[in-house]
Amino acid sequence: MELLNDQVHIENLPRVENASLTPIEPAYLNVLRWEWRILCAILAIVVAALLYFVKPLQQVLGASLLIGGWLLVAAAWYWLQEKSFATKAYAIREKDVIYRSGWIIQSTHTCPFNRIQHSAVTIGPLEKRYGLASLVLYTAGSSEADLRIRGLQETAAWTLKEWINKKIADEHEPVTGE
């Protein structure tokens, strides 16, 4: 008895790297910059409190190291954020959603429609200011979001959510044959 096995040739599979990705909205960079400013302000308050309450840090060397460290962290974060922004992109394909992010460590997430349980649109206060939103996809077996695409135009996020919900509803409909 000869067993035949339909083998999938890896060359015939759709390639993620060949997908045409859509960059997120340029206005999202403003949201990232505001988040950076807020974090820098919080860190500045912490540095000021340390300088005020910790006597050894009130010496020139301690204060210089602490302030220099704060400036170094703030500058590095800003630079990394600016560089990684250009890599953020997404694609909606026939069977899945792709999201790419990261500059130093680049990650590409693929979420197939047949795994998506539900989706949501979230709008934070900074996103609202710029007319942006995030599309959040939840898959089976997870209580956390599996894919979050931040930096979409609000109307686009709602449109994508509705389209994905229709797509997953169509895939979950029972097939009846006569």
Coil, strand or helix: which one is 116?
strand
Residue 96 falls inside a structural domain: yes
Task: Report whether pLDDT(83) > 80.
Answer: yes
Task: Report whether pLDDT(113) > 70.
Answer: yes
Confidence of residue 125 (pLDDT cuts 50, 70, 90): very high
Task: Report whether pLDDT(177) > 60.
Answer: no
Residue 58 falls inside a structural domain: yes
- On whether both 93 and 161 belong to a single domain, the answer is yes
State the total domains in the chain.
Answer: 2
Contacts of 132 (CB under 8 A, 6+ apart): 25, 27, 28, 31, 123, 150, 151, 152, 153, 154, 157
What is this structure's pTM?
0.81
pLDDT digits (tens, 9 = 90+) for 6-60: 565 566 656 666 789 999 999 999 999 999 999 999 999 999 999 999 998 899 9
Q: How does DSSP assign 25-84, residue by residue?
A: PTTHHHHHHHHHHHHHHHHHHHHHHHHHH-GGGGSHHHHHHHHHHHHHHHHHHHHHHHHH
- On whether both 80 and 45 belong to a single domain, the answer is yes
Residue 17 falls inside a structural domain: no
- On whether both 53 and 124 belong to a single domain, the answer is no
Residue-range definition of the domain harbouring residue 68: 28-84
Residue 10 falls inside a structural domain: no
Are residues 137 and 119 in contact, defined by beta-carbon separation less than 8 angstroms? yes
